[in-house]
Chains A and B, each alone.
Chain A
């Protein structure tokens, strides 16, 4: 990773995140290495949410009063800025409650295609069709596809992993065949940080006319991402992993696809005309935003992309890369530590999972917690990946723009402490 931009001034930037200066567990300095699960929010995001609620709060897309107009402008203005951030058009972004809902939206809408009009025919999945996923998926981009296959009689297929945790792409054409209707895969693994070659998978899917669905939860917050350039058909990501609020996710869909896709959740706001005998539906994105939507969350996420844009995604990416390299070096210097996934930082984001011989991950996490170090332990919603890599579970450290090399050192020292505590050093 090379960049000509100046490195981040992390000290200055950390001042924007009040939570990072609190202490935990009897006065220990907080070392937050769990941004892969959820990131912390800068005051700029919190202030934007508060200002919206104190000055402009109203239900959007309804009401004729001034507040309704301002709230709608704030909501749709956020959509525009988020669209710009990920290389999409305004009408190609749907707000969801989280990224998981985005994947379910596509999977359920495809399930509904069989009973929808002729324009939805391209989404119909049935017996003889194949749905392709990978063994490294987060459960959010796996279980909805298993369920779609179960409901429709389609067959689920998947790419396997190499021993170091990358996608085995040695025989792409045998996995993505002309029977494939959907290819769903992650941009960047939430466990190992592995970045997949989107171009290879998109080309293979396009060759057979299959739709592509990208899990962008771990890529959009940490690197410059442009969905149009990537050429994917759908992508889903969440607000809370990119300095934004929880309770909001974003689904991207290419315009012509969203226009033909049947709805998933139905009700108010998403209709065009309602009669007792039946209803017609609004164009996207409203067709996919039934009911009163989240508003301060959309505004907060808009502020988060503003914040990230000012800092610069290239710089953030370079900073996290340096932390990842340091963590891989530091952890592999500790006897008894086994890195899970690749041992290098090539095509890899800021996630480092590992095991400590003789110390269960849950116990390691407890020792680290007692030192103020917050990591994730368990299978991180990617059980099949852990099985592939012969790990029952793992300790995972993830990095973001506000983490420092000192914190990487604290992690490595903490691992040694855990070994000492359990008598395996």
Chain B
């Protein structure tokens, strides 16, 4: 069934048991992002410790894809230098825009590779990128404020 290709077990696990969820203090900057076609939203906070992403916390309302991808995001970027976090983001964005044509690198994207099937559904790509757009914006705001 096609549906299982899209909703990999990993995605459903992150959806049901999200990592790092809940807004926490302290934080340097916060970003609110909304998907205007469906109303899904995420508020995401970033705490930087020099060049290191020391915490990402978030809250939101949305579908399994948007919530699970934000959960995976926290696994991928917390504790990493900003440059490396952005490389992972670029790899994830490239994967999501690939229409299923890219073989993702598990070393870089870890659980994020489960979203390869989602990239075959153009209407859901925005869902998968919602949290990442918030992360990018929050980091830019943190660095702007610093």
A377 interface residue per 8 A CB criterion: yes
**In the complex, chain A residues whose CB is within 8 Å of the CB of B3:** 366-367, 370, 421
A25 interface residue per 8 A CB criterion: yes
**In the complex, chain A residues whose CB is within 8 Å of the CB of B61:** 392
Q: Is the CB of B124 within 8 A of A366?
A: yes
CB within 8 Å of A: which residues of B? 1-3, 6-7, 12, 37-40, 61-65, 121, 124, 127
Which residues of chain A in 325-378 are interfacial with respect to chain B, using CB atoms and an 8 Å cutoff?
Answer: 360-363, 366-367, 370, 377-378
A315 interface residue per 8 A CB criterion: no
Q: B43 CB to closest chain A CB, in angstroms? A: 14
Q: Determine which of B7, B39, B121 lies in contact with A379 in the assembled complex, contact meaning CB atoms within 8 Å.
A: B39
With A363-B64, A370-B1, A379-B39 as contacts: A421 and B7 at CB distance below 8 Å: yes
Q: Determine which of A25, A26, A377 lies in contact with B38 in the assembled complex, contact meaning CB atoms within 8 Å.
A: A377
Q: Is the CB of A383 within 8 A of B2?
A: no
Q: Is the CB of A361 within 8 A of B7?
A: no
Name 22 A/B residue pairs within 8 A (Cβ), A-sorted: A25-B2, A26-B2, A360-B62, A360-B63, A361-B38, A362-B40, A362-B63, A362-B65, A362-B127, A366-B124, A367-B3, A370-B1, A370-B2, A377-B38, A378-B37, A378-B39, A379-B39, A383-B39, A386-B39, A392-B40, A393-B40, A422-B12
Q: Determine which of B1, B2, B12, B38 lies in contact with A362 in the assembled complex, contact meaning CB atoms within 8 Å.
A: B38
Q: Please measure, in the bound complex, the distance between the C-alpha atom of A366 and the C-alpha atom of B120, giving whole angstroms.
A: 12
Q: Please measure, in the bound complex, the distance between the C-alpha atom of A122 and the C-alpha atom of B2, giving whole angstroms.
A: 59
Give 10 A-B pairs besides A363-B63, A366-B124 with Cβ atoms closer than 8 angstroms. A360-B62, A361-B38, A362-B63, A363-B7, A370-B1, A379-B38, A379-B39, A392-B40, A421-B7, A422-B12
Query: What residue in chain A is nearest B41 (Cβ atoms)?
Result: A392
Q: B111 CB to closest chain A CB, in angstroms? A: 18
Interface membership of chain A positions 169-193, coded 1 if the CB is closer than 8 angstroms to chain B and 0 otherwise: 0000000000000000000000000
Q: A25 CB to closest chain B CB, in angstroms? A: 6
Which residues of chain A in 20-44 are interfacial with respect to chain B, using CB atoms and an 8 Å cutoff?
Answer: 25-26
**In the complex, chain B residues whose CB is within 8 Å of the CB of A393:** 38-40
**In the complex, chain A residues whose CB is within 8 Å of the CB of B39:** 378-379, 383, 386, 392-393
Q: Determine which of A361, A362, A367, A383 lies in contact with B124 in the assembled complex, contact meaning CB atoms within 8 Å.
A: A362
| Interface range for A | 10 to 19
**In the complex, chain A residues whose CB is within 8 Å of the CB of B124:** 362, 366
Top 5 nearest A-B pairs (CB, nearest first) are A362-B63, A378-B38, A360-B63, A370-B3, A379-B39
Q: Please measure, in the bound complex, the distance between the C-alpha atom of A361 and the C-alpha atom of B38, giving whole angstroms.
A: 9
**In the complex, chain A residues whose CB is within 8 Å of the CB of B40:** 362, 392-393
Q: Please measure, in the bound complex, the distance between the C-alpha atom of A26 and the C-alpha atom of B2, giving whole angstroms.
A: 9
Q: Please measure, in the bound complex, the distance between the C-alpha atom of A332 and the C-alpha atom of B128, giving whole angstroms.
A: 32
**In the complex, chain A residues whose CB is within 8 Å of the CB of B65:** 362-363
Which residues of chain A in 391-415 are interfacial with respect to chain B, using CB atoms and an 8 Å cutoff?
Answer: 392-393
Query: What residue in chain B is nearest A360 (Cβ atoms)?
Result: B63
Which residues of chain A in 269-325 are interfacial with respect to chain B, using CB atoms and an 8 Å cutoff?
Answer: none
Q: A355 CB to closest chain B CB, in angstroms? A: 12
Q: Please measure, in the bound complex, the distance between the C-alpha atom of A348 and the C-alpha atom of B38, giving whole angstroms.
A: 24
Q: Please measure, in the bound complex, the distance between the C-alpha atom of A363 and the C-alpha atom of B62, giving whole angstroms.
A: 10
Q: A248 CB to closest chain B CB, in angstroms? A: 24
**In the complex, chain A residues whose CB is within 8 Å of the CB of B2:** 25-26, 370
Q: Please measure, in the bound complex, the distance between the C-alpha atom of A377 and the C-alpha atom of B39, giving whole angstroms.
A: 10
Q: Is the CB of B38 within 8 A of A366?
A: no
Q: Please measure, in the bound complex, the distance between the C-alpha atom of A370 and the C-alpha atom of B4, giving whole angstroms.
A: 10
**In the complex, chain A residues whose CB is within 8 Å of the CB of B6:** 366
Q: B13 CB to closest chain A CB, in angstroms? A: 11
Q: Please measure, in the bound complex, the distance between the C-alpha atom of A26 and the C-alpha atom of B127, giving whole angstroms.
A: 24
Q: Please measure, in the bound complex, the distance between the C-alpha atom of A386 and the C-alpha atom of B41, giving whole angstroms.
A: 14
**In the complex, chain A residues whose CB is within 8 Å of the CB of B7:** 363, 366, 421
Q: A198 CB to closest chain B CB, in angstroms? A: 29
